[in-house]
Every structure is written in C-alpha cells, then in structure tokens.
Amino acid sequence: MNNDTNLFIEVASSQKIKSGESISGDTCIISSNDSKNRITLILSDGLGSGIKAAVLSSLTTSMALRLFQNCGDCVSVTETIMKTLPVCSVRKISYATFTMVEIQEKRLVRVVEYDNPPIVVFRGGDLIEKEKQYFKFEHPILGEQKFSYMEFELQLGDRLICFSDGVTQSGMGERKYNFGWQWENAVLYISEVISSDPDVSARDLSDKIISKAWANDVFQAKDDITCACVYCRKPRKLLVVTGPPYDEQKDSYIAYVLKNYPGKKIICGGTTANIIARELGKEIKVDINDRSDDLPPIAYMEGVDLVTEGVITLSKLFRRLESLNQVSMQGVLRPSNLIDKMALLFLHSDVICFLVGTRINEMHQNPDLPVELDIRRNIVRRIKEILERRFLKEVQIEFV
C-alpha cells in the first residue's frame, strides 16, 4: 500500500463539442471509490456525433466504470463490454471506443485501450513507452477484435494523457495539417508544454491540448474534442480558515496554523480575519471598491492569498462549485469575479484543509435576517463533499 501523503494523483479532463452540436458524443468519467484508494478514468467516443453518440458513449462509460470498479480482471471485463456494446449494422464497427485508466493506491496503473488514439505516458519531460499486451477474441458479429492492456508502477512526475480522435484528427483538411494533427504532433506539443512549464497541472495541460486542437480546426470543431490527463505530483496545498474558535484560547492556535502552513491561504470571515490580524500583528485593508456578485468586499492581509466575508461567500462558493463539472471549467471561471477567483484557488489545489471555528454568531440566527444564513460547519461539509466527489480533491476538516 502506498499511503504517501506527499503524492497526489491529479486527474482532469477538458472538452470542446463538435461545432453545431449541443451535446458531446464523447463521454469522460473520472471517479474514485468510497475508500478513495482507487481512481478510475474512462474516456469513450461514441460513433458519429450528437445525441446518439452521447447515449452510446455514456452507456459505455457507465457500464465500464461499474464493471472495472467491481471486478479485478480487466481483460474479461473488457471482453464483456465489447460483446455487449451494440454494433453498427451498416459499417460493421462497434458503436463506441474507449480508454480505461485505473490507479490503485497511488501506485499501480492499469490501462485498457480499445480503438482510441494510444495513451501518452510522460515521465517528467520524457515520453516513455510501456509494453502493451494485446488480446484478441472472436466477436459474434464483428469477428476478430483486439484491445490492449498495460500495467506499470506510477512514479512522482508521471503523466498519462488520453484523448479522443477529435484531437488527433483536428485540423484535417486545413492547410497546415492536411491529414489532421496526428498523434505524433500532439505528443510533440505535449512535450513542448511540459518543457516550458515542468510543473504544468493536469487541468492546464488538458485545457491546453483541447485549445490547440480546437485552434487546428480553426475554432469550429469538426468532431468532439476530449482530453483527460493524470498527473502524479506533490500536492498543492490550500488552507481555509473560517470562523472564530469556540474557545477563545484557541485564537492563537488558528493564527499559528495559518502562519506556518506550507501552501496557499484563504481566510473566510471578518471576525476570523480580525483574530488572525491581532494575533500576528498584521494589518487588514478592506477595498470597498473590489466587490462582485452582491458579496461583501474582499480584504487584504500580508501573507494571505484571499480574505473574504464568511458564510455568504462560502454559500455562494458551494453553489458555484455545484454548477461546474469536471469538463466544463475551461473559460467558464473568470478570475475577475470573487467567487470564480476563489473556486480557481480550490480547483488548482490538491489537498485542501479547512480549519473551522465553531463559535456560533448569534446574530446569524436572527429570524429578521433578510437572507437565510446556514451554519458554517454545514456549508463546509457540503463543500468538502463536492470537492471530493466531483473534483477528486483530498479534503480535511478540523473543527476548533
């Protein structure tokens, strides 16, 4: 078992829908099991585009996810899926292709590929080739079918990148890439991105790859463009201190934790900010002109990345996170907006620690309040759940 807290598996996916379609025919699911020791990523490309392709690829991903998570034998699971999938009666090809990546205990990687562009593996800045095993079986309609399987040990700095053929075929027919961008050029591009930014996150890398493919198509995607990246990295940490401690004697503790925390820092709450400023001898400046989204203005404190109001801001953050999904973040979040800026700080972190003061502000329970204010710890619990379930973050909460 590898419970190394210095390792974090970041998984992110990005997507552009084929121009003129309202729904993507590619589906990408990223999921972790309840005990969080197994991450599964499945990218499926449905035949054609639009609703029909979307139904086929979501059918494939949900079936594959269920089977891979509950059955250890990848090879027999893959055969079962391939035999179950519907077949196009005209073209005699399967209705959906897929790539499955599974990471156990932050160490063992297993990859099954069926007809998608080959997965790309980078160790640091170098493309590495892992040996694949090929399996063949007789399909009742399609005849002989082939899929590949590989497994290897994940190391710090490893990246796995998979994409649909909308990436490799992007730009087809355009002057620059007559035959499409192709796998080799995509790999070259990935290599350039990594060498110019060796710590590039999975999120940014997948966003960059689809943006490039979209540009190849002159910003009118000719097919659904989907990319998913896995990055085994040292965790980027974020501390969120919110609420005054129940016991005033703990005031110095929250200030101490914040001061010594090795990562980004957010304070949510005016009283909390006052306590920390007092304990650390810092000054707080509120900029009344810097406000957005009907929220109280933000404040500034040396050594802290963001200082905001407490419960209203956290409630809005929760609703914003709820409105996002794993593949639709690119271009949606605007750093000029406070909640989006905050959401980006969360999404660009891997391990998020909440230090939650449990002293109840009695005024927040006033029935005359024009808005409903939820209890802080409940909002934080909901944020934790969505960050873990939807964005695969590691979230810890300490109540003080």
Q: Which stretch binds other proteins (CB under 8 A): 110-118, 179-187, 331-339, 365-373?
A: 365-373
- 23 lies in the binding site for other proteins (CB under 8 A): no
Please report how close the Cβ of residue 277 comes to other proteins at its closest, in angstroms: 8
- 17 lies in the binding site for other proteins (CB under 8 A): no
Among 259, 364, 381, 382, binds other proteins (CB under 8 A): 364
CA atoms within 13 A on the CB side of 350: 19
| Beta-strand relationship, 8-16 and 225-233 | antiparallel
- 284 lies in the binding site for other proteins (CB under 8 A): yes
Comparing CB distances to other proteins, the nearer of 123 and 291 is 291
- 251 lies in the binding site for other proteins (CB under 8 A): no
Contacts (CB under 8 A) with other proteins, residues 298-317: 299, 307, 309-312
Among 274, 330, 337, 358, binds other proteins (CB under 8 A): 274
- 342 lies in the binding site for other proteins (CB under 8 A): no
**Given phi > 0 = left and psi -120 to 50 = alpha, else beta, which region is 20?**
left
- 153 lies in the binding site for other proteins (CB under 8 A): no
Please report how close the Cβ of residue 158 comes to other proteins at its closest, in angstroms: 44
Distances (CA, A) of 252 to 247, 272, 281, 321, 355: 11, 11, 12, 31, 13
Please report how close the Cβ of residue 251 comes to other proteins at its closest, in angstroms: 14
- 266 lies in the binding site for other proteins (CB under 8 A): no
Q: Which stretch binds other proteins (CB under 8 A): 23-31, 89-97, 129-137, 270-278?
A: 270-278
What are the φ/ψ torsions at residue 140 (nearest 5 degrees)? -60, -30
- 291 lies in the binding site for other proteins (CB under 8 A): yes
- 270 lies in the binding site for other proteins (CB under 8 A): yes
Binding site for other proteins (CB under 8 A): 269-271, 273-274, 284, 286-288, 291, 294, 296-297, 299, 307, 309-312, 361-364, 366, 369-371, 373
